[in-house]
Amino acid sequence: MSNPLVQAFFVGRAVAEVVNERLEVALTDALSELGKFDAEAREKLHQFTQEVLDRANRAAEAANANQTTTGVRQPSSDTGDLQADIDELRAEIALLRTELQHYRRASA
């Protein structure tokens, strides 16, 4: 390599190859990280969606179970205590209002 022009050509070519290889590695790493981030984001979104649906199903089951156990009682007309019957009906109305408020909050 006695000619400096030829030496400069080969040095320039070697620099271009090394830069090209390093850019290729950097781009590959960046795309790999981006793919990994995308996969993790999708997995977290899937887990979030599944947790929301599970909670919604549990709440619906609890509401259905509570609805079946909270039946409307007929006032006992045998006892003849009208005030006690009125108090029981008021308590059931208050309970139903509370359940209705919970339902409205959950569905909003």
**Tens digits of per-residue pLDDT, 10-64?**
999 999 999 999 999 999 999 999 999 999 999 999 999 999 999 988 888 888 8
Assigned token pair, 90: 């008021």
Whole-angstrom distance, CA of residue 97 vs CA of residue 108: 16
* pLDDT score at 20: 96
45: helix, strand or coil: helix
Helix (H) or strand (E) holding 99: helix 82-107
Residue 26 to residue 18: CA distance in whole angstroms: 12
Q: Which two tokens stand for residue 17?
A: 């190859």
Would you place residue 80 in the very low, low, confident or very high pLDDT band (cuts 50, 70, 90)?
Answer: low
CA distance linking residue 58 with residue 51, whole number of Å: 10
